[in-house]
Amino acid sequence: MVAIVKVTGSGQITIPAAMRRKHNIEQGDRILVA
């Protein structure tokens, strides 16, 4: 899956609102960058 993400200074990525809605991901959830 190709997803546009915002990389934060802490090394985490946040999922844009559109992607959160599409995948039913709760707002504020973050995925740690391995």
Q: Torsions phi, psi of 21, nearest 5? A: -65, -40
Residue 34 above 50 pLDDT? Answer: no
Q: Given this model, what pLDDT does residue 15 score?
A: 62
User: What integer pLDDT is reported at residue 14 of this predicted model?
Assistant: 66
31, 12 Cβ separation under 8 angstroms: yes
What are the domain boundaries of the chain?
1-34
Angstrom distance (rounded) from CA 16 to CA 18: 5
In whole angstroms, how far apart are CA 32 and each of 1, 13, 24? 17, 7, 18
Give percent of the chain with pLDDT exceeding 90: 0
Q: Which residue has the higher pLDDT, 18 or 27?
A: 18
Contact 14, 5 (CB under 8 A): yes
